[in-house]
Amino acid sequence: MNPQDLLNNPQLQNISPEKLQFLMSLAQSTSPSGSNPQNMAASLKNASERASKEGMDFSSGERDLIIEVLKQNLPPQEQQKVDLMMQLMKNMRK
């Protein structure tokens, strides 16, 4: 994903500058050629661990929004896989 897309995304206009910078860093480190649900999940897990170490906490709404933004560049079939994976993860938390 192009980090500039994050700056221009109206959905992310209300997120804190620190979190937006973190997301831009994540976008820069995410390879568009390797974009699939498994790679995306691994990248998000690593990013989550890094955010925790930096004392950054994302709300569930922010996490959902981040997933939506990150999956925008995936083909429709891959987006469906991400949606399924996210639903399974939410169900496991209940």
Domain count across the chain: 1
Per-residue confidence (pLDDT) for residue 51, from 0 to 100: 85
pLDDT digits (tens), the chain, 94 positions: 566 777 777 877 788 888 888 877 777 766 554 566 677 777 777 877 888 898 888 888 788 877 777 777 778 898 898 888 888 888 887 6
Q: Which domain holds residue 73?
A: 3-93
pTM for the whole structure: 0.62
CA dist 86 to 2, 18, 32, 82, Å?
A: 23, 25, 20, 6
